[in-house]
Structure 1
Amino acid sequence: MSLVRRSIAESLGTFWLVFGGCGSALFAAAYPELGIGFAGVALAFGLTLLTMCYAIGNISGCHINPAVTLGLVAGGRFPVRELLPYVVAQVVGGILAGGVLYLIATGKAGFDPVSGFASNGYGEHSPDNYSLAAALMAEIVLTAFFLFIIMGATHKRGHAGLAGVAIGLSLTLIHLISIPITNTSVNPARSTGVALFQGTWAIDQLWLFWLAPLLGGVLGAIIYRCLYASDD
Structure 2
Amino acid sequence: MKIQRLIEEIPTIEQMKKSSYEIYQDFKCVFCYKKKEDFHHVWTCRHNRKILKQIIKRTIDKLIRLLKEYGATVDENKILTDINKFDIFFPKFRKDKFNFIDLIKGIFPKQLYDYIEKLEVIGKKNIVSLGTELLQYVMDETKQHIWLPRCEKLKIIEKRHGITEKDKKKSDSNVGKEKQEDILQRPINLFGRYEDLEGVKEYILFGKEILDFTVVVNRVGKI
**TM-score category of the 2 structures, normalised to the smaller one:** 0.3 to 0.5
- Counting helix residues as a fraction of each chain, which structure ranks higher? 1
Q: Which has the higher contact order (CA 8 A, sep 6+)?
A: 1
TM-score (norm 1): 0.35
**What's the TM-score, normalizing by structure 2?**
0.36
Whose Rg is larger? 2
Higher strand content, 1 or 2:
2
